[in-house]
Amino acid sequence: MKSFITNIKTLFTTTDLETILLWSIMGFIIISALLFVTIMVYRTIKIADGKKLTLLKNTYSNLFIATAFSSPDELESNISKTIKLNKKFIKKKHYSNVIVDELINLYTSLTGESKHNLKRLYFDSGFYEYSEKKMKSKKWDVQAQGIRE
């Protein structure tokens, strides 16, 4: 055991060029491996989040379209479904921004009773309160987005 420790000590204290190069290469390989693992984990998380966001957009889009072209009885049912979904997803700012943008895009493309149904959904399901919070922000761009909504 003592010889192993003395070998390690002499390895660190010698100025042999081969030893310095060996340690440099080993350090480079270790740092490269850590960087590779970090990038792979980050990409995996980002891809999973993108898939979840796409699924969420599709779910809300279908619900918004069903709400726009629904009768008064179906409208109440769709509003309650939206409220249930909002309890799960509206807490994350990224998701809520995408959801509200999806609703606004659909709202601007419709007219008549469909547009009125979406407006009612916006106010009754809590999106209005979310936009009010944006208007109280100290950041001017967030305030402008809240006013637009």
Contact partners, residue 104, CB within 8 Å, separation at least 6:
148, 149
Q: Pick from 86, 73, 83: which is nearest to 117 by CA?
A: 73
Please give the mean pLDDT across all residues of the chain.
81
Task: Give yes or no for residue 56 having a pLDDT over 90.
Answer: no
In the structure encoding, which two tokens stand for residue 71, read together? Answer: 């009768």
Report in angstroms the alpha-carbon separations of 15 from 4, 7, 92, 113, 120: 19, 14, 55, 83, 77
Least confident of 4-8, 98-102, 111-115, 124-128: 4-8
Does the global pTM surpass 0.95? no
